[in-house]
Amino acid sequence: MRSTTLRLRLYILLALADALAISLAMLAPLYMPTYGVQWIPILFVALALYGWTSFTKGAFSIQALEAPRFGIRTALHALAATFAGLFLVSYFLRLEQRLPRLTLLAVMIGAALLLILFRLIVDKLARRRHGRSLVSELALVDGEDGAILRSSCLSTETLGIEPDLANPAMLDAFARLTRGIDRVVIFCPPERRERWAMMLKGANVRGEIATEGLEQFGVLGVERYKGRVTLLVSTGPLALAQRIMKRMLDISVTLPLLILISPALLAVAVAIKLDSKGPVFFKQRRVGRGNAFFNIYKFRSMITEQSDSEGRVSASRDDNRITRVGRLIRRTSIDELPQLFNVLLGSMSLVGPRPHALGSLAGEHLFWEVNERYWHRHVLKPGITGLAQVRGFRGATHHRRDLEQRLQADLEYIANWSLWQDIVIIISTLKVAVHRNAY
């Protein structure tokens, strides 16, 4: 199993190779008469444009590591977009007289050739050092026979792993097993394929099932592993560039906000200690990204002895477990502020599906018993706020439809994720921080 660290190192190496290719091609005209053009500033603009377009087009992705041709093709598309931008800039700034088009075209061709050469060299050296595959793969056998499979796969029976969607502890174990893995392939009997497909879809991993049939799994594509046909059933919702942008938004908002509100956080902590005995913070185990467990932090709002660590009983309007200070901070959502530390540490995001306690009920049923797609909402980090919250779907879940509404909003958010949508949700949250269903 290869770690995420190796993959990031390879991305950095590819980025340096691309930057070197562009730099060598653009610095070559320094040794030729170029009508007084300053190539160094143009080079910085080109590198900035290429950096952005290459990330968004997937030139630094798992697919680019798996298939060098795909990586080269996407990198060339980004390079073409970069030089198109340079042509556009030269036109609007009236540089075309001092920036000969033939020279710029020659530079672009040179950069493309060097880019292809350097990427092939990086791929050759990386595969020689790290093996034929540059991605981390995990193959699991559930009841299948065959010496070929046994030699390259792990047994789910030996690992104690089952596709049991009614067991959160099992999903947590599967999440820990697949953490840092790029590709998971399951070999199992036909009657268990649908259960494995459902489990993979919520695991935040590229998941495939070896099968001869194609229906009922929500297949995204067909792949191959060790000569066997596999069905691609999950990919994880965000590419590397999107994850980086989302993380940058989290940090750039959370860090200044924590510094700004630190006096208020201290005041709330003092008020909680003066109001009732017990710790300032309430820690509870919840389901996070990939269906793995994590500890969420909140200001304690209930009497310590009556705090519900499993979340089996939703708070009600006249709940006698809630303290005087607790009633105020719950009403204004101040009790959620310590989750900013979860965001800073990386277990949560500012925006995402709200994490639920394991014992949460919709009516008389556990959340995942209402709809099996419930586990799919965990392909992203849980959020302090989300699309469901700004639509007013918060508070107690007395009926099945309360959970269905939130689940539908969460899956819609995941399917249509964008950085702009996160910003809009953060702004919209300020309007619903005080809500009639918050108590």
Residue 439 lies in a domain: no
Query: What does each C-alpha distance from 362 to 94, 155, 319, 373, 405 come to in angstroms?
Result: 65, 36, 18, 15, 11
Q: Mean pLDDT throughout 209-220? A: 61
User: Tell me: the pLDDT tens digits for 103-136?
Assistant: 777 888 999 999 999 999 998 888 888 776 777 8
* pLDDT at residue 334 greater than cutoff 60: yes
- By DSSP bridging, strand 154-155 and strand 137-141 are parallel
Residue 380 and residue 417 in one domain = yes
Residue 426 · residue 385 · CB < 8 Å = yes
Residue 416 and residue 302 in one domain = yes
The neighbour count for residue 427, using CB atoms within 10 Å, is 10
Residue 142 lies in a domain: yes
Residue 17 · residue 126 · CB < 8 Å = no
Residue 350 and residue 422 in one domain = yes
Residue 82 and residue 188 in one domain = no
Q: Mean pLDDT throughout 322-337? A: 87
Q: pLDDT-based confidence at 101, cuts 50/70/90? A: low
* pLDDT at residue 315 greater than cutoff 70: no
* pLDDT at residue 386 greater than cutoff 60: yes
Residue 245 and residue 317 in one domain = yes
Residue 181 · residue 137 · CB < 8 Å = yes
Residue 39 and residue 111 in one domain = yes
Compute the chain's Rg from CA coordinates.
Answer: 26
- By DSSP bridging, strand 206-210 and strand 183-187 are parallel
% of residues, the chain, pLDDT over 90:
27
CA–CA separation, 225 and 326 (whole Å) = 55
Strands, DSSP E only, in 90-149? 137-141
Tokens linked to 243: 């994850």
Residue 363 lies in a domain: yes
Residue 23 lies in a domain: yes
Report the pLDDT value the prediction gives residue 259, as an integer from 0 to 100: 93
Residue 34 and residue 150 in one domain = no
User: pLDDT averaged over the chain?
Assistant: 82
Residue 434 lies in a domain: no
Lowest mean pLDDT among 49-53, 148-152, 309-313, 412-416: 148-152
CA–CA separation, 307 and 299 (whole Å) = 12
Residue where one domain finishes, among candidates 204, 234, 264? 234
Residue 89 lies in a domain: yes
User: Tell me: the pLDDT tens digits for 237-282?
Assistant: 787 778 888 999 999 999 999 999 999 999 999 999 998 888 999 9
Residue 34 and residue 180 in one domain = no
pTM exceeding 0.85: no
* pLDDT at residue 35 greater than cutoff 50: no
* pLDDT at residue 183 greater than cutoff 80: yes
Residue among 152, 212, 168 at smallest CA distance from 188: 212
Residue where one domain finishes, among candidates 108, 130, 152? 130
Residue 142 and residue 124 in one domain = no
CA–CA separation, 88 and 92 (whole Å) = 6
Residue 170 and residue 113 in one domain = no
Q: Which domain holds residue 143?
A: 137-234
Q: Count of domains in the chain?
A: 3
338 or 83, which is more confident? 338
* pLDDT at residue 365 greater than cutoff 90: no
Residue 248 and residue 397 in one domain = yes
Report the pLDDT value the prediction gives residue 40, as an integer from 0 to 100: 75
85 or 38, which is more confident? 85
Residue located via tokens 């790029």:
182
Residue 292 lies in a domain: yes
Lowest mean pLDDT among 337-341, 345-349, 434-438: 434-438
* pLDDT at residue 149 greater than cutoff 90: no
Residue where one domain finishes, among candidates 234, 257, 282? 234
Residue 287 and residue 397 in one domain = yes
Residue 436 lies in a domain: no
The neighbour count for residue 257, using CB atoms within 10 Å, is 15
